[in-house]
Structure formats: structure tokens, C-alpha cells
């Protein structure tokens, strides 16, 4: 009888410890998310000061799935979604290949290699805004870093000479190269991080494996694809989830690089949402948010599976 | 079967080693050079920026820093100095609150199963994968209802609550790694649950808790989206908003002062990185020190 009482007491204390977190989290995180789901069903103008119990305010009208259908069929949204998917795919490939490549190279040089990885990690202290502003300038025509380098090294002259297409100036202002400019900047900043993750993954492989690969005389490429990658499946999956979850909500970088987007066709989904938000139509961005939530849920499911796989071992 | 030793093989392995080394050096230069370029640019006049692209500034323009700090650009509404203080207030208070609140919750969620535990745990972890955009509009309306838009307090509440999943998740890993025998010993010594948490568990979990706090601080300091939507008054602008708004008057950018602003805004995090680089790297390597 006394045991039970002690147990309940402990549970009460634990709930007391949990309480501040739960109050803040439920009020300022869970409640807005749930509210956001229902908001997509209404039509309203968020300039009008709404009661935060959105359903009871007179300025709203129920429109059913209209907002969701509008967004799903909007060519601008489809285009933004397409851009987002391209960024997700390209970031995954780049950070997997280059990030792993750098980690693999660095491993061969021991301590010196570690120093290189630390240096490559430095850009993560920068904000996306700083990266965006720095790269707008790197891309800017005539006095930007990239342009002046291309001019100085006569790269375009050389390309023309051998009959290849030349590198266009000012990547950000050209709609065809806008995505490329975002990808370059994003990966410049992000790759160091993934190199560290992969380098840690490489370290978990027992040295005996490396020795036996040496004895078998496998080439680097065969070592990597046949032995290393299969052994690093978990690390690769983890890094992939991280890349995907950071690229699908990419906003700051695109916003700063394109200056709110000179071309509406360069939108990613979060910028599309922001544009509606700015022009004060409440229901449609809530519908976009719903689609973003769906992508998030897919990532949650994948991540939970990964963690379960890990803890079962 | 060992590969045969021959001059050709020796030459080939030498060659691949050199190429690999060159690639690493090139990548390091690419990672650092834009910083150096920005520092140099922050010391140049606008005219020198276009005429002297690559060189060192002929006479360092320290007044770019003073101009950015006190005036803050022609397109701007508040100075970088003012915004810097706002960001310091927001980041510090957010981290202080998280530092008190999230290890407590993490400890409670690292205990043996009790009623409701897994539900709260999963609900919190799920929050890590929900993009801030999902709750942006309802949050705006909620804060407006509480008269907390355009206020640093509102921003702090938002950062704390959206930072909780990540910081609780990481702190919890710290508590999970504590051997249970230690806590049993504390129980035998007659410590209460709270005393066990405060005197035994928390000090042991502290290194892991700190990783979460450092990464959270970097995130809050650098965040742009929340203030962009929730803050409209100039005096409450945070650093990232100011950097974006101030040095662009619609026609040209004041690159010198803008670079000075970028450097000013990056210095605190750079110092943080130098102080804790091993810890940060360890966290990232474990796959936990990444806040997306």
C-alpha cells in the first residue's frame, strides 16, 4: 500500500517537472498547429483583428476544401513544389557525394584531415541571411567574386574556344539559373556538416575491415560501393533525413538571394506561403501549411523507424 | 594477396595522395575565402569595391563599422547596434528559459514508464519535424490576441516553445546515458526525486544538455522567418532583419557597411564556435547536434 503511494508521488513530481514544458509547448506550438489545420477550411482576411478562437469570429466563413483545392491546382504552387523537390533531390545528392567524398579523403590524412574538416565546418556559424547577402554579391555582375574570377582567368574565353557553352553572369537575376545559385550557396554552407557526420560514420567501421580491404587490393571505388556504403547504411539514412527536412522548408536563403523573388516562378513552397501571408489571405497559406505538414509527417515516420531500428540492436 | 610493389604503383599512389590533398585544400579555401573577402570589403569604400575587387583596402575604412553600428544603412529603420542588443536579449532569455525548463522535462521523460509518458514523449519529438511555416499564421493570430506581436517577449515565447522538442530530445539522451545504478544509490541515500534530479542526474547530463543549448542559441541568433512575420516595428527588429533591410535602398547596396554588419553579427557565433568546436563536432558526429 505504501509502495503504491510512493510510486504515485514520484509520478506527481515528474509531472511537476514536465509541467512548464507542456504548458508552453501545448499553448504556443501544438495549439497553433491544430488551429492551422482547421483554418484552411475557412475564408477570412487576417488584417481584421480576429478572435484567436478563429471559429467564433464573424469575419470568417466556412468554405470546406476550397482552399486546399485552389492551392493544389494553382500552377504557381505546383511550380513552387517542383522547385522544392528539385532542391531536396539535388541537396541530397550533393551532400551525400561531396560530403562523403570529403570525409573519405580526410580520413586518409589522419589529424591533418580532421583540421580540414573543422575548417570546412566554419560556414555553419553564418546565418542564411548572411550567406544570402554574401552570395548575392559573389554572383553580382562585373564586380562580384565569381564574375571577376571568370573574367580574370578568361574561363569563358577558353570555353568558347573549345566550343562549350559559357558560364552566364549573375546567376541570381537569370530565372534559368536561380535554382543553381540557391543550390551552390546552400551546399557551400552545408557540406562541412555532412562531411563531419560521414567522417564519424567511417570511424565506426572497425580497422580490421580497412586492413582486409587493403590486402584484397580493392580499388577505392569498389571499397566504397561494395563494403563501406553497405556498412554505413544507418549514417547515410540519418544524413538523408537531415538534408531532406532542412531543404523542404528552405526559406531565408531563397528570400535573401532573390530579394523576395524577382520572378514569382522561382518560388519554393515556403516562399509561396509567405507571399499569401503578406497579402493577407488567411485560408490559402493555411492550406499550403497543411501540405508542408504532410511532408513533415512522412519524415517523422522515416525517422521513428530509423530510431527504432537503432534501439533494437 | 598483396598488391605488387613497383615504381609505377608507387608513383600512382603518390599521385592520388597529392590530388586528394589538393582537393581538401581547395575546399578549405572555398569555405573560408568568402569570409576573408567580406572582412576586406567591410574596410573598403564603395568606390574601392568596384575598382579594387581583389586587393587589400588601401586605407582601412573603420568608419564602416561605426556607421553600421550607429546609423545602420540608408534603407534601414534601426541601427545594427540596436538590433544587436535586441538579438542578445532574445537569444539570452530564450536559452536561459530552455536551460531551466527542458532538462527538467527531459529527466521526467527519461524515467521508467508511467501514465502518459510515451504520449508526451512522442508528441514532443514530432515537433522537431514540423516546419515553422505550418503554425505561422495561427501563431500570428494567437500572439495578436495576446498583444504580443512586435514584442521581444512574444518572440522569446515562440522560440522557447518551438525549441523545446529539440532541446528536450537532446537533454534526454544525456539522462538516458546515466547508469541506473547511480540513481538507485541516490534512492538508497534517501534523496527525493527532485534532489536526485538536481544533485545527481543533472550534473552528469550537463555536457549533453549544453550541446543542445549551443545549437539552439545558434539557431535563435540566426533565425529570420519568425521576426520577419511577427515583428513589424523598427525598434524591435532583430539582427537578421536589420541585415536584410538596412543596406539596400531600392537602388544600390551599401556593400561596405553591409559587410561590416555581417561581420558584427557573426562574431558572437564565431567565438562560440571557437570555444566549443570540439563539443559541437562531437554532437554533429553523433547525429544529434544538427538543428534543421
Q: Residue A207's domain is classified under what CATH number?
A: 1.10.3720.10
Which residue of A125, A242, A273 is in closest CB contact with B292? Answer: A242
Residue A132's domain comprises 74-279
Q: Among all residues of chain B, which has the CA nearest to that of A288?
A: B134
Chain B neighbors of A54, CB-CB under 8 A: 138, 141
Which residues are A191's β-sheet partners?
none
pLDDT band at B249 (very low <50, low <70, confident <90, very high): low
- Residues of A in Cβ contact (< 8 Å) with B114: 10-11, 14
DSSP state of A61: E
Q: Does residue A50 form part of some domain?
A: no
The 10s digit of each residue's pLDDT in B65-80 is 888 888 876 666 788 8
Taking CB atoms and an 8 Å limit, are B129 and A197 in contact across chains?
Answer: no
Mean pLDDT of B180-191: 83
* Chain B residue at shortest CA distance from A148: B53
For the record, the C-alpha cell of A214 comes out as: 587493403
Q: Tell me what ipTM this predicted complex has.
A: 0.87
pLDDT given for residue B277 in this prediction: 84
Query: Within a domain: residue A144?
Result: yes
Measured in residues, chain B has a length of 292
Closest-CA residue to A14 (of B57, B196, B95): B196
CB contact under 8 A, B229 and A119: no
Does B289 have pLDDT greater than 70?
A: no
Cβ partners under 8 Å of residue B86, min gap 6: B152, B236, B237, B238, B239
Q: A200 touching B, CB under 8 A? A: yes
Look at residue A53 in the predicted model and tell me its pLDDT: 53
C-alpha cell, B94: 530564450
What count of CB pairs under 8 Å joins A to B?
A: 280
The pLDDT value recorded for residue A312 is: 44
Task: Calculate how close chain A gets to B75, using CA atoms only, in Å.
Answer: 14
Which grid coordinates belong to B291?
538543428
Q: Which residues contact A109 (CB under 8 A, 6 or more apart)?
A: A116, B20, B21, B24
In A, which residues are within 8 Å of B139 by CB distance? 28, 32
Does the beta carbon of B98 lie under 8 angstroms from any beta carbon of chain A? no
Look up residue A18 and give its three cell numbers.
514536465
Query: Which comes out higher in pLDDT, residue A173 or B109?
Result: B109
The reply to whether A89 touches chain B by the CB within 8 Å rule is no
- Which pLDDT band, with edges at 50, 70 and 90, does B2 fall under? very low
> Helix or strand or coil: residue A62?
strand
CB contact under 8 A, A54 and B141: yes
| Mean pLDDT across B36-57 | 80
| Interchain CB distance below 8 Å, B124 and A25 | yes
Residues 267..306 of A with a Cβ closer than 8 Å to B: which? 270, 273-274, 277, 282, 285-286, 288-290, 292-293, 295-297, 299-300, 303-304
Q: How many folded domains does chain A comprise?
A: 1
Look at residue B234 in the predicted model and tell me its pLDDT. Answer: 82
The closest CB to that of B133, out of A152, A200, A292, belongs to A292
Q: What pLDDT is attached to residue A174?
A: 67
Query: What distance in Å separates the CA atoms of residue A26 and residue A15, rounded to the nearest whole number?
Result: 15
Mean pLDDT of B47-76: 78
User: How many residues can be counted in chain A?
Assistant: 313
Q: Is A293–B161 a contact, with Cβ atoms under 8 angstroms apart?
A: no
CA distance B131 to A293: 7
Within 8 A of B16 by CB-CB distance, chain A residues are: 220
Between residues 226 and 255 of chain B, which touch chain A (CB distance below 8 Å)? Answer: 228-229, 240, 243-244, 248, 253, 255
Give the model's confidence band at B4: pLDDT under 50 very low, under 70 low, under 90 confident, else very high. low
Residue A24 within a domain = no
A120/B31 Cβ within 8 A: yes
Looking at residue B292, its pLDDT comes to 59
Task: Mention every residue, 6+ apart, whose C-beta is less than 8 A from residue B108.
Answer: A14, A15, A17, A18, B117
Contacts of A127 in chain B (CB under 8 A): 221-224, 240, 243, 265-266
Give the relative orientation of helices A2-25 and B80-109 as an angle to the nearest 10 degrees: 160
Q: In 3D, which of B123, B179, B205, B193 has the Cα closest to residue A14? A: B193
* Residue B271 at interface with chain A, using a CB cutoff of 8 Å: no
Question: Are the Cβ atoms of B141 and A245 closer than 8 angstroms?
Answer: no
Interface test with A, best of B4, B98, B129, B279 (most A CBs within 10 A): B129
* DSSP run (H or E) holding A42: strand A42-43
Establish if B127 touches chain A: CB-CB under 8 angstroms: yes
A224: which chain B residues are within 8 Å (Cβ-Cβ)? Answer: none
Q: Which residues of B touch A21 (CB under 8 A)?
A: 101-102, 104-105, 124, 164, 168
pLDDT digits (tens, 9 = 90+) for B271-280: 998 898 888 8
Q: Which of A15, A285, A296 sits opposite B130 (nearest CB)?
A: A296
Q: Which of B164, B244, B286 sits opposite A25 (nearest CB)?
A: B164
Taking an 8 Å cut-off on Cβ atoms, the answer to whether B138 and A35 are in contact is yes
Q: What is the pLDDT of residue B204?
A: 92
Flag whether residue A227 sits within 8 Å of chain B, measured between CB atoms. no
The C-alpha atoms of residue B72 and residue B83 are separated, in whole angstroms, by: 9
What's the CATH number for B71-286?
1.10.3720.10
How many C-beta atoms lie closer than 10 Å to residue A289's C-beta? Answer: 30
Where residue B1 falls among pLDDT bands split at 50, 70, 90?
very low
pLDDT band at B50 (very low <50, low <70, confident <90, very high): confident
**Which phi and psi angles does A43 have, rounded to 5°?**
-115, 125
- In angstroms, the CA B260 to CA B66 distance is 9
Model's pTM, two decimal places?
A: 0.87
Nearest CA in chain A to B139: A32
Distance from CA of B82 to the nearest CA of A (A): 18
Specify the residue for cell string 543542445: B212
Is residue A285 in some structural domain?
no
Alpha helices (runs of H) in chain A, residue ranges in sequence order: 2-25, 31-39, 66-73, 75-107, 110-121, 128-139, 145-152, 155-161, 178-203, 207-216, 220-222, 229-231, 233-247, 252-258, 269-278, 283-312
Contact B194 A193 (CB under 8 A): no
Contact B179, B251 (CB under 8 A): no
What pLDDT digit, counting tens, does each position of B8-28 carry?
A: 878 888 888 888 899 999 999
Q: Is residue A234 part of a domain?
A: yes
Contact residues, chain B, for A11 at CB < 8 Å: 114-115
> Over chain A (313 residues), what is each successive 10-residue block's mean pLDDT?
71 92 94 84 68 55 84 88 92 94 90 90 90 86 74 74 70 72 91 91 87 79 85 86 87 82 71 80 82 84 70 44
Amino acid at each position: 500500500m505504501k509502495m503504491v503511494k510512493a510510486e504515485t508521488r514520484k509520478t506527481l513530481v515528474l509531472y511537476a517537472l514536465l509541467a512548464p514544458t507542456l504548458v508552453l509547448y501545448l499553448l504556443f506550438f501544438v495549439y497553433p498547429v491544430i488551429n492551422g489545420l482547421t483554418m484552411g477550411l475557412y475564408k477570412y482576411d487576417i488584417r481584421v483583428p480576429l478572435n484567436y478562437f478563429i471559429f467564433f469570429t464573424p469575419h470568417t466563413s466556412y468554405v470546406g476544401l476550397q482552399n486546399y483545392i485552389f492551392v493544389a491546382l494553382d500552377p504557381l504552387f505546383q511550380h513552387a513544389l517542383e522547385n522544392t523537390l528539385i532542391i531536396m533531390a539535388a541537396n541530397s545528392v550533393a551532400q551525400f557525394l561531396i560530403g562523403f567524398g570529403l570525409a573519405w579523403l580526410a580520413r586518409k590524412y589522419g589529424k591533418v584531415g580532421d583540421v580540414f574538416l573543422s575548417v570546412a565546418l566554419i560556414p555553419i556559424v553564418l546565418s542564411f541571411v548572411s550567406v544570402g547577402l554574401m552570395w548575392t554579391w559573389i554572383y553580382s555582375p562585373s564586380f562580384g567574386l565569381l564574375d571577376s574570377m571568370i573574367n580574370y582567368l578568361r574561363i569563358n574565353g577558353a570555353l568558347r574556344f573549345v566550343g562549350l557553352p559559357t558560364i552566364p553572369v549573375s546567376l541570381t537575376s537569370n530565372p534559368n539559373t536561380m535554382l543553381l545559385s540557391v543550390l551552390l550557396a546552400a551546399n557551400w554552407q552545408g557540406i562541412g556538416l555532412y562531411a563531419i557526420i560521414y567522417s564519424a560514420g567511417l570511424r565506426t567501421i572497425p580497422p580490421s575491415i580497412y586492413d582486409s580491404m587493403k590486402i584484397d587490393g580493392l580499388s577505392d571505388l569498389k571499397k566504397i560501393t561494395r563494403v563501406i556504403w553497405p556498412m554505413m547504411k544507418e549514417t547515410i539514412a540519418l544524413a538523408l533525413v537531415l538534408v531532406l527536412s532542412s531543404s523542404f522548408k528552405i526559406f531565408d536563403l531563397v528570400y535573401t538571394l532573390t530579394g523576395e523573388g524577382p520572378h514569382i516562378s522561382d518560388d519554393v513552397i515556403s516562399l509561396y506561403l509567405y507571399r499569401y501571408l503578406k497579402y493577407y489571405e488567411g485560408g490559402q497559406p493555411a492550406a499550403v501549411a497543411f501540405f508542408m505538414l504532410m511532408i513533415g509527417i512522412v519524415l517523422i515516420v522515416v525517422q521513428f523507424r530509423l530510431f527504432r531500428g537503432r534501439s533494437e540492436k | 594477396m598483396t598488391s605488387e610493389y613497383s615504381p609505377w604503383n608507387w608513383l600512382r599512389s603518390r599521385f592520388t595522395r597529392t590530388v586528394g590533398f589538393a582537393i581538401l585544400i581547395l575546399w578549405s579555401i572555398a569555405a573560408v575565402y568568402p569570409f576573408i573577402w567580406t572582412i576586406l570589403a567591410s574596410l573598403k569604400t564603395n568606390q574601392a569595391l568596384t575598382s579594387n575587387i581583389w586587393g587589400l583596402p588601401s586605407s582601412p575604412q573603420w568608419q564602416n563599422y561605426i556607421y553600421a553600428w550607429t546609423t545602420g544603412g540608408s534603407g534601414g529603420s534601426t541601427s545594427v547596434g540596436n538590433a544587436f542588443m535586441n538579438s542578445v536579449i532574445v537569444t539570452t532569455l530564450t536559452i536561459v528559459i530552455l536551460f531551466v525548463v527542458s532538462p527538467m522535462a527531459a529527466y521526467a521523460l527519461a524515467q521508467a514508464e508511467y501514465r502518459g509518458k510515451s504520449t508526451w514523449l512522442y508528441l514532443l519529438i514530432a515537433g522537431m519535424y514540423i516546419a515553422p511555416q505550418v503554425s505561422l499564421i495561427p501563431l500570428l493570430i494567437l500572439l495578436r490576441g495576446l498583444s504580443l506581436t512586435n514584442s521581444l517577449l512574444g518572440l522569446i515565447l515562440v522560440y522557447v516553445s518551438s525549441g523545446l522538442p529539440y532541446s528536450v530530445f537532446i537533454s534526454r539522451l544525456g539522462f538516458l546515458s546515466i547508469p541506473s545504478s547511480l540513481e538507485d544509490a541516490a534512492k538508497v541515500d534517501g534523496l527525493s526525486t527532485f534532489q536526485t534530479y538536481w544533485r545527481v542526474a543533472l550534473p552528469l547530463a550537463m555536457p549533453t544538455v549544453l550541446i543542445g543549448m549551443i545549437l539552439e542559441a545558434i539557431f535563435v541568433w540566426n533565425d529570420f522567418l519568425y521576426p520577419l512575420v511577427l515583428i513589424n516595428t523598427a525598434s524591435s527588429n532583430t539582427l537578421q532583419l536589420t541585415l536584410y533591410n538596412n543596406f539596400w535602398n531600392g537602388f544600390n547596396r551599401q556593400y561596405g557597411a553591409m559587410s561590416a554588419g555581417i561581420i558584427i553579427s557573426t562574431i558572437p557565433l564565431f567565438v562560440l564556435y571557437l570555444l566549443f568546436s570540439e563539443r559541437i563536432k562531437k554532437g554533429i558526429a553523433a547525429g544529434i547536434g544538427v538543428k534543421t
